[in-house]
Amino acid sequence: MGKIILVRHGETNMNRDNLYHGILDPTLNETGIKQAEKAYNIIKNISYDKIFSSPLKRAYETATILNYKKLDIEFSDKIKELNFGIFEGLSYEEISHKYLYELKEATKNWKNYNFKTGESPCELQKRSVQFINSLDKDLNYLIVTHWGVICTILSYYFSYNLNAYWKFKIDNCGIVIIEFTKDNFPILAGFNIGGWN
């Protein structure tokens, strides 16, 4: 039985300021570093055979702190955060003033809306699940990624579509563990472990 250990990256200033940032690339702030150090104390008790990270700095910096086995960190664009397109770098209030029509469309058709120059949650789920399905389920993987990626994976395995996408609370450096049986059946073995409150 293999495990997928998913960890959301630590806090950035853009998280703190409630700004949309999918492909923007801020570093961890002081709180984010402390969150990763707290998560390290949990992860060091969990074995992993390989470690993957989103190539974005906030994920890679978190992965570097968590990587107690000092394995080579492998990167995949498939586990980058959702590209918010024209919403990138803006607050909800700014978006509601500048892009009210687009915001209404994103709310009404949230599964397929691609944020103009960005991508949709459906597209995010497709690439995230492709990545997970490419892994050998007999091994244990530590994967440091983003809220959107984790929620699309959970929604796929435990609701078989995107309907549960908004129903998961994953804090910065919260840990999610999915175990796979010999028949490749997914079991949610841990959720938001060590989540920062």
For residue 142, the enclosing domain spans: 2-82+123-193
**Do the domain assignments include residue 162?**
yes
**Do the domain assignments include residue 117?**
no
Q: Which of 11, 21, 61, 81 is catalytic?
A: 81
* Mean of pLDDT values over 28-42: 97
∠ CA 63-55-14 to the nearest 5 degrees?
80
Q: CATH number of the domain that 159 lies in?
A: 3.40.50.1240
pLDDT at res. 196: 61
**Do the domain assignments include residue 158?**
yes
* Mean of pLDDT values over 181-191: 90
**Do the domain assignments include residue 88?**
no
CA distance 27 to 49: 26
Burial class (CB in 10 A: 0-12, 13-18, 19+), 134: exposed
**Do the domain assignments include residue 106?**
no
172 touches 11 (CB < 8 A) = yes
* Mean of pLDDT values over 42-52: 97
Q: Residue 161 — pLDDT band, cuts 50, 70, 90? A: confident
Domain count, the chain: 1
pLDDT at res. 64: 98
Q: Quick one: tokens of 105?
A: 């469309």
CA distance 24 to 145: 14
109 touches 54 (CB < 8 A) = no
**21 labelled catalytic:** no
**Do the domain assignments include residue 100?**
no
